[in-house]
C-alpha cells in the first residue's frame, strides 16, 4: 500500500468521508512534506509545494464571487511513529466568495510527532469561510500540535472555525488564534476537545471587534480526565459602536485533571457589548444519577454527558 492509500485509510478511520475520487470535490492530501494528492475546482486554486525539510507551503485562493458548492477536503498527517510536519498556510477568500473546508489531521501511529500549522487567513469584503478541523492523534499521546492563525475579516465578511478532537489521546496542543474584524464582520471560533492521561491543552483565542456592528463568539468546551491539564485563554475586545460578542468556556474535569479558564473582556466603546460565561466542574450529579437510574453504570453515564457536551 502506498503513502496516499495509507493516508486516505487513516483519514477514513478517523471519520473522514471518501470523496477523493470525486471530480467536483476539491481536495489536498499532505503526508509530512509530501503532496500526495491535490485537486482543484472552478473558482478555487490550491497550490502546495515543499519549501524546506518537513515543511510545505499551501496557498488556497477562492476567487471573487465564487461560491464553492462542495466542501473542500484536506487531509494532513504523519504516518510513521516519529516525524514532523510544518504547514505554512495562506488562505485568501476574495470579495463575495464562499467556501467550506473540512480538514482532518491524522497521526494514527504517533509516538513522537510534531505538527505545526502557521496560517494567515484573509476574508475579503462579503466573503465567507467555514473551516472545520478534526483531529485524530491515536492512543499514544505522542503528538504535539502547535497551531497559529492570524485572521483578518473585512467588512461584511464572516469566518467560522470549528475544531474537534473527541476520541483518543490529545497529546500536547498549543493553539493561538487571533482575529481582527472590520465593520459588520462576524467570527465564530468553536473548540471541542477531550483530553486524558497526561495530555496538555493550551488554547489562546482572541478576537478584536474593531469595526462597528462586528460580531464575535468564542466558545470552548473541554473534557479532561486522569492527569490532563487545560488552560483556555479567550480574549474578546470591542472598541466600535454596535460591536457585540460572547465568550463561553465550559470545562468538565474528572480524576486529577486540572482546568483553568481565563476570559478577558475588553470593551472600549459605550455602545459595544461583550458577555462571558465560564464554568469548570465535575459531571453534574443529577445528570449522572438520572442516567444511572436508567441502568447505566457511572462510567457509561459520565461518558454520555461528556460526549453530549462536546457534541453541543
Partner 1 sequence: MSKLLEVKDLNLKIEDTEILKGIDFSLEKGEVFALIGPNGCGKSTLAYTLMGINNYYPDKGELLFKGEKINDLKINERAKKGITLAWQEPARYQGVTVREFLSLGLKSKGEEVTEGKLANALNKVAIRPAQYMDRFVDKSLSGGERKRIELAALILMHPELIILDEPDSGVDVVALNNIADMINYFKDSGSGILLITHSEEMLNYADKAALICDGEIIRQGDTSSISDYFKSYCGPCAKSEECETEVAS
> Positive or negative CA dihedral for 267, 269, 270, 272?
negative
Q: Per-residue string for binding with partner 1, 247-286, x by CB under 8 A? A: -------------------------------------xxx
Q: Which stretch binds partner 1 (CB under 8 A): 44-52, 153-161, 212-220, 288-296?
A: 288-296
Instruction: At 123, list the grid cell.
Output: 476574508
Instruction: At 1, list the grid cell.
Output: 500500500
User: What is the DSSP secondary structure assignment for residue 297, as one 8-state letter?
Assistant: -
State which of positions 120-159 bind partner 1 (CB under 8 A): none
Q: Which stretch binds partner 1 (CB under 8 A): 70-78, 123-131, 165-173, 304-312?
A: 304-312
Report how far residue 242's alpha carbon sits from residue 182's, in angstroms, rounded to the nearest whole number: 12
How many residues make contact with partner 1 (CB under 8 A)? 24
Q: Is 309 exposed, middle or buried (0-12, 13-18, 19+ CB in 10 A)?
A: middle
Instruction: At 287, list the grid cell.
Output: 445528570
290 interacts with partner 1 by CB under 8 A: yes
Report how far residue 82's alpha carbon sits from residue 203's, in angstroms, rounded to the nearest whole number: 24
CB within 8 Å of 192: residues ≥ 6 apart: 162, 163, 164, 165, 166, 220, 221, 222, 310, 311
For partner 1, the closer of residues 243 and 291 by Cβ is 291
| Cell 454520555 -> residue | 304
In order of 78, 81, 103, 176, 262, the CA distances from 111 in angstroms are 11, 5, 22, 24, 31
**Can you spell out the DSSP letters for 222-233?**
EEE-TT-EEEEE
291 interacts with partner 1 by CB under 8 A: yes
311 interacts with partner 1 by CB under 8 A: yes
8 A C-beta contact, residue 186 and residue 214: yes
Report how far residue 121's alpha carbon sits from residue 154's, in angstroms, rounded to the nearest whole number: 11
Report how far residue 290's alpha carbon sits from residue 78's, in angstroms, rounded to the nearest whole number: 42
293 interacts with partner 1 by CB under 8 A: yes
Give least dist CB 195 to partner 1, A: 17
Q: Which of 50, 176, 287, 303 binds partner 1 (CB under 8 A)?
A: 287
For partner 1, the closer of residues 166 and 264 by Cβ is 166
296 interacts with partner 1 by CB under 8 A: yes
- Residue 41 CB neighbour total at 10 angstroms: 18
For partner 1, the closer of residues 150 and 303 by Cβ is 303
Q: Which stretch binds partner 1 (CB under 8 A): 39-47, 68-76, 96-104, 296-304?
A: 296-304
State which of positions 3-42 bind partner 1 (CB under 8 A): none
For partner 1, the closer of residues 49 and 294 by Cβ is 294
For partner 1, the closer of residues 93 and 305 by Cβ is 305
For partner 1, the closer of residues 65 and 308 by Cβ is 308
289 interacts with partner 1 by CB under 8 A: yes
Q: Which stretch binds partner 1 (CB under 8 A): 44-52, 120-128, 163-171, 292-300?
A: 292-300
Binding site for partner 1 (CB under 8 A): 284-287, 289-298, 300-301, 304-305, 307-312
Amino acid at each position: 500500500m502506498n503513502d496516499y492509500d495509507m493516508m486516505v485509510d487513516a483519514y477514513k478511520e478517523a471519520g473522514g468521508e471518501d470523496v477523493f475520487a470525486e471530480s467536483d470535490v476539491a481536495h489536498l492530501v499532505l503526508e509530512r512534506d509530501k503532496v500526495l494528492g491535490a485537486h482543484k475546482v472552478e473558482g478555487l486554486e490550491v497550490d502546495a509545494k515543499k519549501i524546506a525539510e518537513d515543511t510545505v507551503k499551501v496557498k488556497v485562493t477562492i476567487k471573487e464571487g465564487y461560491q464553492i458548492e462542495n466542501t473542500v477536503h484536506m487531509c494532513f498527517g504523519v504516518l510513521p511513529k516519529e516525524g514532523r510536519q510544518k504547514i505554512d498556510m495562506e488562505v485568501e477568500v476574495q470579495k463575495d466568495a464562499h467556501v467550506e473546508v473540512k480538514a482532518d489531521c491524522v497521526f494514527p501511529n504517533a509516538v513522537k510527532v510534531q505538527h505545526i500549522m502557521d496560517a494567515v487567513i484573509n476574508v475579503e469584503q462579503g466573503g465567507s469561510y467555514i473551516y472545520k478541523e478534526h483531529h485524530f492523534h491515536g492512543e499514544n499521546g505522542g503528538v504535539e500540535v502547535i497551531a497559529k492563525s492570524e485572521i483578518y475579516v473585512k467588512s461584511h465578511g464572516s469566518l467560522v472555525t470549528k475544531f474537534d478532537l473527541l476520541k483518543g489521546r490529545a497529546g500536547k496542543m498549543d493553539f493561538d488564534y487571533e482575529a481582527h474584524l472590520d465593520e459588520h464582520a462576524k467570527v465564530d471560533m468553536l473548540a471541542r476537545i477531550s483530553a486524558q492521561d497526561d495530555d496538555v491543552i493550551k488554547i489562546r483565542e482572541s478576537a478584536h471587534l474593531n469595526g462597528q456592528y462586528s460580531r464575535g463568539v468564542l466558545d470552548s468546551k473541554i473534557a479532561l480526565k486522569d492527569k490532563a491539564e487545560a488552560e483556555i485563554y479567550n480574549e474578546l475586545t470591542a472598541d466600535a459602536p454596535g460591536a457585540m460578542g460572547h465568550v463561553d468556556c465550559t470545562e468538565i474535569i474528572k480524576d486529577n485533571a486540572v482546568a483553568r479558564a481565563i476570559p478577558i473582556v475588553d470593551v472600549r466603546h459605550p455602545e459595544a457589548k461583550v458577555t462571558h460565561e465560564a464554568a469548570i466542574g465535575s459531571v453534574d450529579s443529577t445528570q449522572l444519577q438520572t442516567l444511572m437510574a436508567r441502568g447505566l453504570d457511572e462510567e457509561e453515564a459520565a461518558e454520555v454527558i461528556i460526549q453530549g457536551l462536546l457534541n453541543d
